[in-house]
A and B are shown apart, each in its own frame.
Chain A
Amino acid sequence: MSDELRSAVAAGVLGAEKNYRELLQSIVEVARAIFRAKASSIFLLDEESDELVFEAVAGEGSESLIGRRFPSSTGIAGFVLVSRQPLVIEDVLEDPRFSRETAESTGFVPKGLMAVPLLHEESALGVLEVLDRPSDARFTLQEMDLLGLFASQAAIALDLLQRARRAQATLADEGELAVLARLAQKLEERREEGGDALALLTVLERLVQ
Chain B
Amino acid sequence: MHEEPLPAWSLPTDAVERIALPEAWPGEVTREWAWGGATGSGVTVCILDSGVEANHPLVGKVQKSVAISIEGDNVIVDEHDTAGDLCGHGTACAGVVRALAPECDLASVRVLGGGFSGSGAVLLEGLRWAVEQGYDVINMSLSTTKQKFASLLHQLADSAYFRRTMLVASAHNMPVESYPWRFSSVISVGSHDQTDPFAYFYNPTPPVEFFARGVDVEVAWTGGGRLVCTGNSFATPHISGIAALMLSKHRELTPFQLKSLLYLTASNVGGGE
Is the beta-carbon distance between A47 and B216 smaller than 8 angstroms? no
Contact segment of B23-31, B85-93, B160-168: B85-93
> How does the 8 Å CB contact mask read for B164-183 relative to A, with 1 for contact and 0 for none?
00000010111110100000
Residues of A within 8 A of B115 (CB): 50, 71-73
Is the beta-carbon distance between A144 and B226 smaller than 8 angstroms? no
Is the beta-carbon distance between B193 and A141 smaller than 8 angstroms? yes
- The answer to whether residues A97 and B225 also contact, given A122-B146, A144-B230, A151-B174 and a CB cut-off of 8 A, is yes
Is the beta-carbon distance between B116 and A139 smaller than 8 angstroms? no
Is the beta-carbon distance between B229 and A88 smaller than 8 angstroms? yes
Is the beta-carbon distance between B119 and A82 smaller than 8 angstroms? yes
> How does the 8 Å CB contact mask read for B129-165 relative to A, with 1 for contact and 0 for none?
0000000000001111111000000000000000000
Q: Does B76 contact A (CB under 8 A)?
A: no
Is the beta-carbon distance between A152 and B174 smaller than 8 angstroms? yes
Range of interface residues on B (Cβ < 8 Å): 35 or more
Q: Does A5 contact B (CB under 8 A)?
A: no
- The B-contacting residues of A in range 38-88, CB under 8 angstroms, are 45, 47, 50, 71-76, 78-79, 81-88
- The answer to whether residues A144 and B229 also contact, given A84-B144, A122-B145 and a CB cut-off of 8 A, is no
What's the Cα separation between A86 and B171 when bound, in Å? 11
Is the beta-carbon distance between B116 and A73 smaller than 8 angstroms? yes
- The answer to whether residues A78 and B87 also contact, given A84-B172, A91-B227, A152-B174 and a CB cut-off of 8 A, is yes
> How does the 8 Å CB contact mask read for B224-243 relative to A, with 1 for contact and 0 for none?
11111111110000000000
Residues of B within 8 A of A83 (CB): 89, 141-143, 170, 233
> How does the 8 Å CB contact mask read for B87-128 relative to A, with 1 for contact and 0 for none?
111000000000000000000000011111101000000000
Q: Does A192 contact B (CB under 8 A)?
A: no
Is the beta-carbon distance between B170 and A85 smaller than 8 angstroms? yes
Main secondary structure of the interface of B (DSSP, over half): loop
**Chain B residue at smallest Cβ distance from A123:** B145
- The answer to whether residues A73 and B216 also contact, given A83-B233, A94-B225, A96-B223 and a CB cut-off of 8 A, is no
Is the beta-carbon distance between A87 and B173 smaller than 8 angstroms? no
Is the beta-carbon distance between B193 and A74 smaller than 8 angstroms? no
Is the beta-carbon distance between A98 and B216 smaller than 8 angstroms? no
Q: Does B202 contact A (CB under 8 A)?
A: no
**Chain B residue at smallest Cβ distance from A138:** B216
Range of interface residues on A (Cβ < 8 Å): 35 or more
Is the beta-carbon distance between A119 and B176 smaller than 8 angstroms? yes
Residues of B within 8 A of A78 (CB): 87, 112, 116
Residues of A within 8 A of B233 (CB): 83, 85, 87
Residues of B within 8 A of A74 (CB): 86-87, 113
Binding site for A on B (CB under 8 A): 50, 86-89, 112-117, 119, 141-147, 170, 172-176, 178, 191-193, 215-216, 218, 221-233
The 3 lowest CB-CB distance pairs between A and B, nearest first, are A95-B225, A88-B230, A50-B115
Sample of 6 more A-B contacts, CB < 8 Å, known A82-B116, A96-B223? A85-B231, A86-B231, A95-B226, A95-B227, A141-B215, A152-B174
Binding site for B on A (CB under 8 A): 45, 47, 50, 71-76, 78-79, 81-98, 116-117, 119, 121-124, 138-141, 144-145, 148, 151-152
Contact sample, A vs B, 28 pairs, CB 8 Å cutoff:
A71-B115, A73-B114, A76-B88, A78-B87, A82-B116, A82-B142, A83-B141, A83-B143, A84-B145, A84-B176, A85-B142, A87-B230, A87-B233, A88-B229, A89-B227, A92-B225, A92-B227, A93-B225, A94-B224, A117-B174, A119-B174, A119-B176, A121-B145, A139-B215, A140-B215, A151-B174, A152-B174, A152-B175
